Structure 1
């Protein structure tokens, strides 16, 4: 099953909504019961091996009880989620390395929905009822808990800001769960300017970055075409840039993947790549030309498909 997705927007003003904190992690489904214990990413990949500290969730609702939860894996640093810290965990698949990292930097699973219980499909139930069932399960442990839910949107947003969180997700209490659909029944409200972009190439570096990546060229999809959105050259470590180049090298192509040649890179040394890698970037604003200002790299999003990346309003 694919997770239901939220649409970017403003905090609803009308009644009939509930509010959660927006956690800066990766969406993950937890399945227990006859199939054993499985963690599945938003794209349907089995990521169980990456998070061995969550194996204890196999009995979270009782021995061998059939259960499918929706939630988020986060890395907490000083009590706050850190996507950059999560980068060290989300790409690991070797069990020995995963166990080593789990011992020194464990993740936390935050459950916010229940989609199946004891063989019964709950997706057709309203969110209000699914949430009641989730809270009745008592999802709580050393590395997992239930994400809190609130009924006051402005107060939730204020608390999220005060605690340095990414934003708020509003959920219509009457909404059913629509697997794989992006719907206005769930609205994500981000405080800062931050979203995913598709990498279309890199500009060659100079000075200390000579011979490698200077900045990444980014785009978003509009009408099925990859539209240039600007560059990001800050937020990387030296090791991070070298790792990025190793990741991108197999995707090098001769021609630009963008619908139109980026005007601010003409005549500069550029290496183009197939538009396959999605990254998350924080930035100050969009210019009138539709370019990013003061962009900073936050991490790689292996849980997002390139064709899903659009400009968030």
Structure 2
């Protein structure tokens, strides 16, 4: 595995923007760190310490450019500790990525910044380079996915039409239609950002939608099967995103047991299930006519025969994709 090649590839996949100069600087600092460590240490015993100073620059650059894109704010004047705090409190990056960032700051960045007598050896410098490359690549991938998600939301929003017929749609139908539009537009968005993108798309339409994280920020809340919950005084709608079993044969078929229990226990009024598959998927919106509550399923037509949702038939799945057009969030041409 060539970490530098992966780093260059991750940067190359990100569209140009205010972040571009900073991302290129990250690559430059990592390359210079490698050049420092490759110097003859017998002739220059400070080469490894010089490498650490370069990885520190790459570390801070990764944090600041991630903050610029993920938070949508200028990182100028913020310390790495402050940015880490923001990323943690807002569930902006994967918790394990954040742990690695914090560990580097404590083990390398802070000691080298405050102890002018400190020196590092070859092993420490090598570990620093590998660590910085690793979490820089992860952050770059998340930056790319965030940019893709923002663009997908914009395509959905731009295509919104003033439609007098929307008043006839229920909240469940509107939520399902928005989820369909975003799912169609977000084929290049990674899973972690996909669920956040659904919530943000719904918020843009005036809904109170939240991604479900647990209190320790370890990951999505395992106490609920819902990835996104839409709440209002009069209704609660659960949204669950899944991966198509055509691409993961080890996945168990969906059953209605968990849905029935959760919906009745938490007084949910409706549910939307999205089944993501390949990037060239023609997603459709289906309504399960015989479900005991409004149930909408977004998936490729080829996945409908794999939706083992109940021991008993839910009846014919009716294609109601036209709800997206009725709401004014029909699919756009990218």
**TM class, shorter-chain normalised?**
under 0.3
> Which protein has the bigger strand share?
1
Q: Which has the higher contact order (CA 8 A, sep 6+)?
A: 1
Please report the TM-score for the alignment, with normalisation by the length of structure 1: 0.24
Higher helix residue share:
2
